């Protein structure tokens, strides 16, 4: 290889991590190096449109000279090997715009009171009730209902795990939601739970309860595929923090569940995960398998993740109840990183009470995830609606499901306050921070040309190479302004309903709960319609207690027709479900 070509290759590698490191800029400057052995002022002039600047002649000369030292420094940085689990030396703090919130979130709000009987006061048809249906079919029971059966010896933890494993086997050919059944581990954990019940040791409400993990949550002994063919057989050496905490609470992991490749959509290397209410349709993503399995009664609860809608979107599609916690509430250690400043882990379940119990098991500081904090949380809680202000968003559309929530809360004593979400900042443009962080995390795949089965990510990664470090930081500055705008919104309300706020709240870190409140009747097939409630940072207790009141007031069928029995379901008619 001649020296000019060697220089060209070295510059291509070095410029890949520079602030001006777009593919086009690197090619322009590298072509110049291959001809002249150096970056010239003419090369800078050809490439400066990438920066958005118009340089003078002396400025171009100075820039070309400066690149000589910069390329050497970048070459040294580039040579340092990085794993997928190596974060940068910064962290997002959702409370940075509200220092007083750090004090407020350490104590119980005045409108909350402990409510140990919150899940036993409802009637037998309520999803949070402990009263079991006459036939004792566990498929669509809640955690407390299943826990009562376990504690009264109506069923063993081993038998309960086998029951749900059988349902997963029976219905997965239709839904395509299972990546790996963790049967050996499930039997070990179920036997341990039965032993604890026998000896009188009770670890809490999750003891003996089967659950599923989105397959970006690492579990030793089993592959963690991230939904991508590149990782389908890879076994990670450490179990994720949330899986360890679920095990400590006595829960029984029975399956790893599908996600769209690298947490995009519902298409993964095994195909498309389907909506139990309409199997001709995809279940949305990226917590596709978590939502589909819970909605179909294939397991009581699952953990999913959200960066920009990946819990809320499949829950809305499949009609599940779910909680996306405040950023920093739950450790992401051992989970696939997509955006260091936006990733969150949360539960998808049969009712609000189930979400509250799971959050109680997994929340809290973890030294291995520097974004985590300890903030006050207790469940179950009862809320005095007369003491809280519920926002009705006036500058965005209100869905029929959200209107139902507002009317129910008004009828039960809450003060409904007209309010607005920030509309003077381009939140969806700021979400490019996610794409840029993801491009940094997965750059090795792009460099190797290993793009098989990654959905639209390769295009997104390449596009992100055109964004400078200065522009990324400018987006972060706009994000901080958005956080301050949301602080002003919460000066007028304690929570708000609806608002089509996925972009805003995933950037600011606010928690959201989604739950079914009605059924669609205008277009078949009939399925649940979900509304959302968003709360203050780290105030999941108020958020869940308020949603619990709504849940008790509505009566929504949560059983997809073809999943009411354990019989295998027919295949969908449309093999190209979206």
State both tokens at 296: 């179909």
| Over residues 183-200, mean pLDDT | 98
Q: How much is the pLDDT for 1?
A: 52
CB 505 within 8 A of CB 449: no
**Measuring CA to CA, which residue among 33, 54, 34 is closest to residue 45?**
54
- Is pLDDT of 14 > 90? no
Question: Looking at the predicted structure, is the pLDDT value of residue 26 above 60?
Answer: no
- Better-predicted residue by pLDDT, 564 or 298: 298
Q: Which of 107, 122, 145 is nearest to 542 (CA)?
A: 107
Residue-wise pLDDT for 31-53, tens only, equals 455 445 567 788 778 777 766 66
Any domain includes 438: no
Same domain membership, residue 478 and residue 339: yes
HSE-CB for 427 with a 13 A CA cutoff? 19
Q: In this structure, are 107 and 41 located in the same domain?
A: no
Alpha-carbon gap, residue 362 to 131, rounded angstroms = 27
Nearest to 511 by CA among 534, 527, 493, 495: 534
CA 145 to chain centre: 27
Q: Are residues 16 and 73 in the same domain?
A: yes
In the numeric block, the tokens 């939502």 are attached to: 291
Beta strands 344-349; 321-324: pairing state = antiparallel
| 489: pLDDT strictly greater than 60 | yes
List the domain range (segments joined by +) for residue 20.
Answer: 3-78
Taking each continuous run of H as one helix and of E as one strand, the counts in the chain are 20, 17
For the cut 50, the answer to whether the pLDDT of residue 22 exceeds it is no
Whether 337 shows a pLDDT value over 70: the answer reads yes
| The pLDDT value given to residue 372 | 98
In terms of domains, do 203 and 259 share one?
A: yes
CATH, residue 348: 3.90.1300.10
Average pLDDT on 236-242 reads 97
Is 54 a residue of the active site? no
Residues 6+ apart with CB under 8 A from 351: 127, 128, 142, 321, 551
* 471 phi and psi angles, rounded to 5 deg: -65, -35
pLDDT of residue 73: 63
If pLDDT is split at 50, 70 and 90, which confidence band does 56 have? confident
Residue 136, by phi and psi: left (phi above 0), alpha (psi -120 to 50) or beta?
Answer: left
Question: Domain check: are 343 and 484 in the same one?
Answer: yes
Number of domains in the chain: 2
What's the pLDDT tens digit per position in 466-478?
678 888 999 999 9
**pLDDT range class, residue 18, cuts 50, 70, 90:** very low
- Are residues 382 and 481 located together in one domain of the fold? yes
Is there a domain that residue 165 lies in? yes
Helix (H) or strand (E) holding 461: helix 457-464
Note if 286 is an active site residue: yes
Would you say residue 227 has pLDDT above 70? yes
User: Residue 136's CB: how many other CB atoms inside 10 A?
Assistant: 11
319 and 407 in one domain?
A: yes
For the chain, give the number of residues: 578
> Does 118 have pLDDT greater than 50?
no
Residue 83 lies in a domain: no
Give the model's pLDDT for residue 135: 54
| Catalytic member of 214, 305, 315, 541 | 214
Q: For residue range 348-392, list pLDDT tens digits in order.
A: 999 999 999 999 999 999 999 999 999 999 999 999 999 999 999
Question: Does some domain include residue 447?
Answer: no
pLDDT over 70 (residue 133): no
- Whether the CB-CB separation of 553 and 128 falls below 8 Å is answered with no
Report yes or no on 435 lying in a domain.
no
First CA to last CA distance, the chain: 49
Q: Which of 18, 287, 305, 310 is labelled catalytic?
A: 310
For 148, the token pair is: 């009562």
Quick one: pLDDT at residue 136? 65
528-535 vs 495-497, strand pairing mode:
antiparallel
Average pLDDT of span 483-510: 97
Of 364, 120, 377, the residue nearest 248 (C-alpha): 364
Mean per-residue pLDDT over the chain, rounded: 88
Q: Are residues 374 and 511 in the same domain?
A: yes
- Residues 40 and 108 placed together within one structural domain of the fold: no
Q: Determine what percent of the chain is predicted with pLDDT higher than 90.
A: 72
Domain identity same for 145 and 64: no
Dig out the tokens for 190 from the structure.
Answer: 């179920």
Q: In the prediction, which pLDDT does 464 show?
A: 83
Gap between the Cα atoms of 172 and 184, Å rounded: 19
Confidence of residue 21 (pLDDT cuts 50, 70, 90): very low
Average pLDDT over residues 415-424: 97
**Could you tell me the pLDDT band of residue 299, with boundaries at 50, 70 and 90?**
very high
Rounded CA separation 535/496 (Å): 7
Question: 132 in a domain, yes or no?
Answer: no
pLDDT of residue 54: 81
User: Is residue 530 in a domain?
Assistant: yes
Structure confidence at residue 80 (pLDDT):
78
For the stretch 520-549, pLDDT in tens is 977 778 899 999 999 999 999 999 999 999
**What is the model's pLDDT at position 48?**
73
Is the pLDDT at 395 greater than 80, yes or no? yes
Q: From the candidates 119, 286, 290, 315, which is the catalytic residue? A: 286
Quick check: bond before 286 cis, omega within 30?
yes
Q: Is the pLDDT of residue 248 over 90?
A: yes
Average pLDDT of the segment spanning 310-329: 98
310 part of the active site: yes
DSSP code at position 506: H
pLDDT for 32: 52
**336 within a domain of the structure (yes/no):** yes
- pTM here is 0.87
Higher-pLDDT residue of 521 and 219 is 219
| Same domain flag for 111 and 238 | yes
pLDDT category of residue 253 using cuts at 50, 70 and 90: very high
Shared domain check, 144 and 231: yes
Mean pLDDT of 558-563: 92
Indicate whether 20 pLDDT > 70.
no
């Amino acid at each position: 290889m001649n020296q000019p070509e060697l220089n060209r290759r070295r510059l291509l590698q070095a410029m890949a991590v520079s602030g001006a490191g777009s593919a086009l800029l690197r090619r322009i400057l590298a072509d110049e190096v291959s001809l002249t052995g150096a970056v010239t002022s003419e090369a800078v002039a050809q490439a400066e449109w990438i920066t958005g600047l118009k340089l003078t002649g002396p400025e171009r000369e100075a820039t070309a000279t400066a690149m000589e030292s910069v390329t050497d420094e970048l070459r040294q940085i580039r040579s340092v090997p990085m794993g997928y689990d190596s974060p940068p030396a910064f962290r997002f703090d959702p409370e940075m715009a509200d220092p007083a919130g750090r004090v407020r979130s350490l104590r119980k709000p005045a409108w909350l009171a402990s409510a140990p009987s919150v899940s036993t006061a409802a009637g037998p048809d309520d999803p949070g009730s402990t009263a079991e249906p006459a036939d004792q079919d566990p498929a669509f029971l809640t955690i407390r209902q299943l826990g009562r059966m376990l504690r009264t010896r109506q069923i063993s933890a081993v038998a309960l795990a086998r029951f749900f494993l059988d349902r997963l086997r029976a219905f997965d050919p239709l839904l395509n939601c299972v990546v790996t059944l963790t049967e050996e581990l499930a039997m070990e954990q179920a036997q341990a739970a039965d032993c604890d019940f026998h000896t009188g040791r009770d670890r809490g409400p999750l003891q003996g309860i089967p659950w599923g993990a989105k397959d970006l949550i690492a579990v030793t002994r089993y592959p963690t595929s991230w939904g991508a063919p590149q990782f389908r057989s890879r076994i990670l050496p450490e179990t994720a923090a949330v899986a360890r905490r679920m095990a400590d609470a006595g829960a029984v992991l029975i399956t790893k569940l599908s996600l769209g490749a690298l947490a995009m959509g519902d298409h993964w290397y095994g195909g498309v995960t389907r909506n139990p209410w309409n199997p001709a349709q995809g279940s949305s993503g990226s917590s596709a398998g978590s939502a589909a399995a819970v909605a179909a009664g294939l397991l009581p609860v699952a953990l999913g993740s959200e960066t920009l809608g990946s819990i809320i979107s499949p829950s809305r599609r499949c009609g599940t109840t779910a909680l996306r916690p405040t950023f920093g509430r739950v450790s992401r250690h051992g989970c696939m990183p997509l955006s260091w400043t936006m990733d969150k882990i949360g539960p998808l379940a049969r009712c609000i009470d189930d979400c509250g119990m799971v959050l109680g098991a997994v929340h809290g500081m973890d030294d291995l995830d520097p974004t985590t904090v300890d903030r006050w949380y207790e469940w179950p809680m009862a809320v005095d609606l007369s003491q809280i202000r519920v926002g009705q968003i006036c500058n965005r559309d209100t869905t029929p499901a959200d209107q139902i929530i507002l009317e129910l809360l008004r009828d039960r004593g809450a003060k409904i306050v007209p309010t607005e979400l920030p509309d003077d900042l381009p939140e969806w443009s700021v979400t490019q921070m996610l794409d840029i962080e993801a491009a940094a995390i997965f750059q090795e795949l792009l460099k190797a040309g290993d793009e098989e089965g990654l959905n639209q990510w390769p295009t997104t990664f390449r596009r992100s190479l055109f964004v400078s470090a200065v522009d990324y930081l400018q987006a972060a500055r706009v994000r901080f302004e958005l956080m301050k705008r949301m602080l002003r919104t919460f000066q007028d309300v304690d929570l708000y309903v609806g608002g089509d706020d996925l972009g805003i709240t995933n950037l600011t870190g606010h928690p959201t709960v989604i739950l079914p409140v009605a059924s669609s009747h205008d277009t078949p097939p009939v399925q649940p319609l979900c509304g959302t409630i968003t709360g203050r940072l780290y105030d999941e207790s108020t958020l869940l207690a308020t949603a619990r009141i709504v849940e008790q007031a509505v009566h929504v069928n949560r059983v997809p027709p073809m999943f009411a029995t354990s019989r295998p379901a027919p295949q969908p008619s449309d093999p190209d479900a979206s």
